[in-house]
Amino acid sequence: MTLVEIAISLAGVVILIGLAWALGATRSIAVTEEAAIDRLAFDEPDFRPGEWLIGADGKSAAAISVDGVEAAVVFAVGDGLGTRRFRQGDVNIEQSGSGLTFKFGEPSLRSLRLLALSESAAAQW
């Protein structure tokens, strides 16, 4: 294989990675309360949400279970929704103004930012 062939292959890989990132980075779906409830019910049918916090920017939502032991987040991924369920205390949640940052530390989801309607709403979480 010549250097020209390697350079062409490398350029093609870079273009494909850039295209995949661009398609994943543009979130075309909004996380509404109805969409979040439906998605969480589908992904986690045994999770019983008690209280919801829907993001003001339409990119994420969070729910605490009725018993307060677990929580879950629903977030936009491309043109779909994803979920993460966790036990309270297992995920570090940091507040900055009206924003909450959930620190998962997973390779597929290191952190998630949820923008609450107000600083007081964020403080309740």
pLDDT, tens only, 84-116: 999 998 999 999 999 999 999 889 889 999 999
Q: What angle do CA 19, 25, 26 make, to 5 degrees?
A: 100
What pLDDT, on the 0 to 100 scale, is given for residue 27?
54
Which residues, at least 6 apart from 75, have a Cβ–Cβ distance to it below 8 Å? 31, 59, 60, 61, 81, 82, 83, 84, 112
What pLDDT, on the 0 to 100 scale, is given for residue 34?
95
pLDDT, tens only, 14-60: 998 888 777 665 557 889 999 999 999 999 999 999 999 999 999 99
Predicted TM-score (pTM) of this structure: 0.75
